[in-house]
Amino acid sequence: MTDPVQTISYQTTDLGSVERNRVLRNTYMLLALSLVPSVVGAWFGVASGLGKALSGGLGLVVFLVGAFGFIYAIEKNKNNAKGVPILLGFTFFMGIMLSRMIGYILGMSNGASLIMTAFGGTAVIFFAMASLSTVIKRDLSGMSQWLLVGVMALVIGSIVNIFVGSTIGMMVISVLSMFIFSAYMLYDLKNIVDGGEQNYISATLALYLDLVNVFQSLLALLGIFGSDRD
């Protein structure tokens, strides 16, 4: 005779698994879609010269105000129809903010290949972290505090280096950023897999920020070590 308590337990587990898979699937689809406005924004920033104009202190202010404003709006509207368009607007904005570095790299004789290498490297890291998130059984929630401290240190270091302009400082920051945001990527993916994040818009935002920071770090490192210019 079937135990009704056990049956309910199985049904609850199945429903939880279905919900987690739905959030993960929607997150991946929206993440892929969010890359389109980013590419368009980067192209617009390079073609118009807007990205180059947003340098130094002005660029920092525009980035901080724009990024925090968009993130606040996304989180406020994550449960209604406005959430996705605002997220896509944010990814367009981030593309513009990336365009200054992309324009600089494109000025190198091998710039296009460096950008593709950075994109490919980011994709490899993402797929590696996605695979790890499905096989790691331990709880990774304890990583959040250490990762937050690491991000705060990166932000402070980056702000200082904007005014110092040290190539070595940029290289160190880029290496640390690549590792920290790769770890953040694993943490965010594991959070979705475990059912800790149940909103696919918030999940997409977190993963998008991870991807952008890893890509930017790889691009900066490739730019430092591949400095042949036309």
- The pLDDT value given to residue 94: 95
- For 195, the domain range is 4-225
Angle at 132 between CA 114 and CA 219, to 5 degrees: 15
Task: Report residue 87's pLDDT band, with 50, 70 and 90 as the boundaries.
Answer: very high
What does the alpha-carbon distance between residue 27 and residue 181 come to, in Å, rounded to a whole number?
Answer: 18
Q: Mean pLDDT over residues 7-16, rounded?
A: 47
Q: Mean pLDDT over residues 107-120, rounded?
A: 90
- The pLDDT value given to residue 122: 95
Residue 63 in tokens: 């980035």
Question: Average model confidence (pLDDT) for the chain?
Answer: 86
What does the alpha-carbon distance between residue 158 and residue 153 come to, in Å, rounded to a whole number?
Answer: 8
Is 230 inside a domain boundary?
A: no
Range from 76-80, 145-149, 183-187 carrying the lowest mean pLDDT: 145-149
Q: Mean pLDDT over residues 68-81, rounded?
A: 94
Helices (H) and strands (E) in the chain, counts: 8, 0
Is 68 inside a domain boundary?
A: yes
Q: Mean pLDDT over residues 78-102, rounded?
A: 94
Task: Kindly tell me if the per-residue pLDDT of 110 is higher than 60.
Answer: yes
Is 152 inside a domain boundary?
A: yes
Task: Kindly tell me if the per-residue pLDDT of 182 is higher than 80.
Answer: yes
- Nearest Cα to 206, choosing from 147, 146, 161? 147
- The pLDDT value given to residue 43: 94
Tally of domains within the chain? 1
- Give the pLDDT confidence of 119-151 residue by residue, as tens digits: 999 999 999 999 998 888 887 877 888 888 988
φ and ψ at residue 166, rounded to 5 degrees: -85, 125
What does the alpha-carbon distance between residue 87 and residue 141 come to, in Å, rounded to a whole number?
Answer: 25
User: In angstroms, how far apart are the furthest CA atoms of the chain?
Assistant: 78
Task: Kindly tell me if the per-residue pLDDT of 44 is higher than 50.
Answer: yes
- The pLDDT value given to residue 15: 44
What does the alpha-carbon distance between residue 167 and residue 192 come to, in Å, rounded to a whole number?
Answer: 37
Is 172 inside a domain boundary?
A: yes
- The pLDDT value given to residue 13: 46
